[in-house]
């Protein structure tokens, strides 16, 4: 009886491990790639460097905690995007990097600095 319980527990653990690492992976990955949360606080974006797939739409959700006017705008120079960031309210910016490479984003004075890196083949 005890041996059977141990074996059943073992099988259950294996099934859970397989589900967690393989079967559940596509969903988690898709969510991670489509929406990226970026915290704006203490003079930094975090994460300050994000990797995204070339040609795929991605939502960057900025949450500004820093009340200083320095952080009030985020500018993607290469994409021609400039947006106001309200304090404590997530602001979604949807971008599609058409070419591989680096797309920096900064505040107006370029004190806050971040970089979105577009690469091929991240989703494969
Ligand atoms: Cu600034």
Tokens of 84: 């106001």
In a domain, 27, yes or no: no
Q: How many A from CA of 118 to the centre of ligand 1? A: 24
Query: ω before 17 within 30° of 0 (cis)?
Result: no
Whole-number Å distance, alpha carbon 72 to ligand 1 midpoint, is 8
* 13 in a structural domain: no
**124 within domain boundaries:** no
Separation between Cα atoms, residue 45 and residue 52, nearest integer Å: 16
Q: Please, which residues have CB within 8 angstroms of residue 76's CB and are 6 or more apart in sequence?
A: 82, 93, 95, 103, 104, 105, 116
pLDDT at residue 10, rounded to an integer: 77
Whether pLDDT at 33 is above 80? no
69 CA distance to ligand 1 middle (Å): 7
pTM, 2 dp: 0.72
Q: How far is the CA of 42 from the centre of ligand 1 (A)?
A: 11
Q: What is the domain-level CATH number for residue 114?
A: 2.60.40.420
On whether residue 19 sits in a domain, the answer given is no
Calpha distance 112→61 (Å, rounded):
16
> What is the pLDDT at residue 7?
80
Q: Let me know if residue 12 belongs to a domain.
A: no
Identify the domain containing residue 91 by its residue range: 33-119
Please give the pLDDT value at position 2.
82
Question: Does residue 23 sit within a domain?
Answer: no
Question: What's the structural domain count of the chain?
Answer: 1
- C-alpha 70 to ligand 1 mean position (Å): 3
Q: Give the chain's mean pLDDT.
A: 85
């Amino acid at each position: 009886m005890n041996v059977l319980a141990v074996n059943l527990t073992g099988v259950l653990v294996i099934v859970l491990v397989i589900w967690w690492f393989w079967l559940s992976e596509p969903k988690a990955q898709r969510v991670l790639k489509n929406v990226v949360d970026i915290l704006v606080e203490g003079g930094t974006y975090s994460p300050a460097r994000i990797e995204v797939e070339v040609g795929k739409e991605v939502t960057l959700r900025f949450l500004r905690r820093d009340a200083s006017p320095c952080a009030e705008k985020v500018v993607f120079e290469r994409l021609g995007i400039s947006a106001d960031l309200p304090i404590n309210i997530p602001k979604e910016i949807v971008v599609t990097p058409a070419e591989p490479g680096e797309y920096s984003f900064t505040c107006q004075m370029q004190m806050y600095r971040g970089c979105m890196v577009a690469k091929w083949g991240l989703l494969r």
